[in-house]
Structure 1
Amino acid sequence: SLLVRRAAAERRRRRVNRTFTTAAACLVVAAGVFVAVGSVTGEPNPDSIHSPAAALLMTGRTYSVTDAASGVTSVVGLEDKGWGTHVALELKGVKGPLQCRLLAVGDDGRSEVVASWGVPDKGYGVPGSPDPLLLHGGTSLTQDELNHFTVQTFDGRILATVAV
């Protein structure tokens, strides 16, 4: 009977050890998930990481200007496509609230809206809001047909003109 009690005690000890080991493994997995989710949803701004605009600004043909009057800095990236031109824009030094658009202007004077957006009160690429605006769009104009890009407000005020 002593042998039976010792065997039962040994089984209980193993069961308790197995339970604690399983619980510890679950905690390790949960901590890993928490860290992974935190790294995906945390800083920096997700719009500025691995976006098509950021990629095009790194790999495409780029043109830039800082407008003396407005202080706005614009970088335009271009990529040839079968349908026209893929366009990316990085915009800094602009405070809101504003509604803006990016126009592609051809050598023949034809213009097309590439994209439009709202600038929040805090702005983009300014003290207190250092992240630039990154966006992308397209135009049916080919790179050979393009003359310049204009960043303008909806009321027609020109913030920057980028020659290409």
Structure 2
Amino acid sequence: MRSLERHRDVGAYALGVLDEAEAFRFEDHLMECPQCTAHVTEFGATTRQMMLYRRATPRTVHPFAGPGPHLLDRLLAEVAARRRRVGRRLLYAVAAAVVVAVGGPVLAMAAGGGGDEPVRLTATDPKSGVWAQVTTEDRVWGSSVELKVKDGAGPRPCRLVIIGHDGSEQTVTSFTVPDHDARPNTMMGGAAKHADEIARYEVRTSTGETLVALDPK
């Protein structure tokens, strides 16, 4: 792929939507492009906004649904009804959801909530010294995954891989560890599998080295 096209992949890479082959090729590009490395870090705020939008979106909303002309009227009516039932506190919470749903972008990845409690795993690898925390929430389409990583051995491109009980693997999100920065970095991604279908999580380098593994058992 030409260099200009590779630069344009930075957003898709930071949000974890490139397929595994494209992610590998972009990671090779990152090793030689400080500009794209900086842009990947800058996408952290956008990723967090996607996470907030996803959490505010009801499970009944289809992932590809757009807001209809009467969406605001229906949501305001629901706010009024709930206020009469449970009081002022719930009004503020639902009103905040109205602002996000009407004012925010319609994101295919963001829609869909889950009813189960999130699964949170934390591990530190004694050899690499890398610390990671994974929080997985079930969605209609699979799972949303939040990854926090502390790695002082950067810069290096890495990715979070899930391994299913059936042996299949999927890259959830790709990211670049900053230069000698051991502060926690947060990334978001999505997986086609539900939490109970995932055997373990691995943070790997672009060359396939496992930096830390997290096992739900």
Is residue 2:188 matched to residue 1:136?
yes
Quote how far apart the aligned CAs of 1:118 are: 1.2
Hey, what does 2:107 align to over in structure 1? none
Quote how far apart the aligned CAs of 1:86 are: 0.5
Q: Structure 1 vs Structure 2: percent identity of aligned residues? A: 32
Hey, what does 1:156 align to over in structure 2? 208
Q: What's the secondary structure of 1:144's corresponding residue?
A: helix
Provide the C-alpha distance between the structure 2 equivalents of 1:97 and 1:91, rounded to a whole number of angstroms.
Answer: 13
Quote how far apart the aligned CAs of 1:156 are: 1.1
- Could you state the TM-score of these two structures normalised by the residue count of structure 2? 0.46
Deviations 1:71-106 (A, max 9, x none): 111100010001101000010133212110100110
Unaligned regions of 5+ residues in structure 1, if any? 1-44
Unaligned regions of 5+ residues in structure 2, if any? 1-41, 56-116
More strand by share: 1
Q: What's the secondary structure of 2:196's corresponding residue?
A: helix
The letter of the residue matching 1:72 is V
- Could you state the TM-score of these two structures normalised by the residue count of structure 1? 0.60
Provide the C-alpha distance between the structure 1 equivalents of 2:202 and 2:43, rounded to a whole number of angstroms.
Answer: 26
Quote how far apart the aligned CAs of 1:159 are: 0.5
Provide the C-alpha distance between the structure 2 equivalents of 1:159 and 1:94, rounded to a whole number of angstroms.
Answer: 12
Cα RMSD for the two superposed structures: 2.5
Provide the C-alpha distance between the structure 1 equivalents of 2:178 and 2:134, rounded to a whole number of angstroms.
Answer: 21
Provide the C-alpha distance between the structure 2 equivalents of 1:114 and 1:61, rounded to a whole number of angstroms.
Answer: 16
Hey, what does 1:146 align to over in structure 2? 198
Q: Is the 8 A contact 2:118 2:137 kept in 1?
A: yes
Q: Is the 8 A contact 2:119 2:195 kept in 1?
A: no
Asked which structure has the greater CA Rg, the reply is 1
Matched residue count: 110
Quickly say closer, same or farther: Cα 1:74–1:82, change in 2 above 3 A: same
